[in-house]
Homo-oligomer: A and B are copies of this chain.
Amino acid sequence: MDNEEFRVLLKTLDSFNSYGEDSKRHLVDPRVDIFHGRARNDIALTAKHKELLQELGYKDHLQKVTQAIDSNQAFFDLVLAYSAQHFIPSEDDKNGDAVSPIKDEHNSIKAYLEETLGKYAQGYHAMNMDRDKVRSILKQVAREWTAEGAYERQIINKPIFEWLEKLYPDKDARKDIRIVCPGCGLGRLPFDLCTELGFQAQGNEFSFHMLLVSNFIINIMQQPNCLAVHPFVNSFSNVKSRDIQIRPVIVPDLAASQLLSESDLFSMTSGSFEHVYPLDSYKANCVVTCFFIDTANNIFRYLETIADMLSAGEHWINIGPLLWHFEDDANNIELSVDELKLVIPKFGFEIVHWESIEGVPYSSDLERMGGYRYDVEFWVAKKV
């Protein structure tokens, strides 16, 4: 593992490990302080206000928020205990000079982390961006691996699945068709392509946050419905009732490892899509990009890579918005829908279908009063 990769991994592990402490410090402690009139900016609660808060069960609620955070930390502790070892470099790996591999004398991941973090400067510790990712991965878990997420998944899967069934009507032949899903998050889409439709499918993901959690859910967890997480605990706003914030979801809705145990249809790759593909050992027959292409710095390179992965007559299916991820850093090219329609054919594709689907939620809390709704573009392009 090279030095920079190790730095990102260590920040990621730290953010999982310190989620609970950090969340309580930001969500619970200041609200307790407000109640007791010792907040940095006092909001001047009177005796009557405090009495009302008591009646509403304000402190009980903060207690429940604390418990929900603890439950999330317990989930991340399991991810660290069972999944992190597959990512932390060992002494046998070829490592950069600033990499600290895990050794036999480390009795646990926590012990390794504690010792290792102590040796490194601030840049190797979790930053706000890493903490944001930990919080948002809880919602990603709800989207991908719970029954509650079925509604969101179904909206997006429907047009993809319909087209795949049209392109590959012979179900028995699908086991020889390889579909690659770049930026697959926690891997549910390629998993469903295998288990529901019978294709070979390979997910690809770059983020250590995603990889650690998807490995845990897909490869480690043996039973469905065995862990509770509280994905919505981090926001106090826009709720009809307090319970909305602290309600759990049950993970996973099905046991991936069981369903995949006698199948070799499913696989995952880690690393940057543009660097991993085309992959000599896994010639794709189809590429499905879902909420992915707007993660490009250079969208043209994405298009080139997808084109390089496919042979003439094979298909690329896309669904997602154009909310360019690096827009705020001005470190990408943002294309409009019209421009994509002009550009895609220049990379060797014929556009065979294009439609817009409006008002789509993505890892949203559907019980909240409002949220972001995407209008997504769905297209099918054939390599010529």
Number of A residues contacting the other chain (C-beta, 8 Å)? 65
Which A residues from 344 to 373 make CB contacts under 8 A with B?
346, 356, 359-360, 368-373
Q: Are B43 and A297 in contact (CB under 8 A)?
A: yes
Say whether A197 faces chain B, with CB atoms less than 8 Å apart. no
Which chain B residues lie closer than 8 Å to A342 at the CB level? Answer: 55-56
Q: Is the CB of B331 within 8 A of A301?
A: no
Residues of B within 8 A of A374 (CB): 238, 369-370
Contact of A336 among B48, B241, B301, B324 (CB under 8 A): B241
The residue that A333 contacts in the complex, of B43, B376, B377, with Cβ under 8 A, is B43
- A258 CB–B CB distance under 8 Å: no
Contact B375 A337 (CB under 8 A): no
Instruction: Give Cα A30 to B53, complex, Å.
Output: 50
A98 surroundings in chain B (CB, below 8 A): none
- A371: chain B residues at CB < 8 Å are 372-373
Decide: A300 and B336 in contact? CB cutoff 8 A.
Answer: no
The digit string for A34-53, where 1 denotes a CB below 8 A from any CB of B, is 10000111011110110011
| Contacting residue for A237 out of B31, B43, B334, B368, CB 8 A | B334
Q: Is A236 interfacial (CB 8 A cutoff)? A: yes
In the complex, which residue of chain B has the Cβ closest to the Cβ of A324? B237
Chain A contact residues, CB within 8 Å of chain B: 26-27, 30-31, 34, 39-41, 43-46, 48-49, 52-53, 55-56, 58, 235-242, 244, 294, 297-298, 300-301, 321-324, 327, 329-339, 342-343, 346, 356, 359-360, 368-377
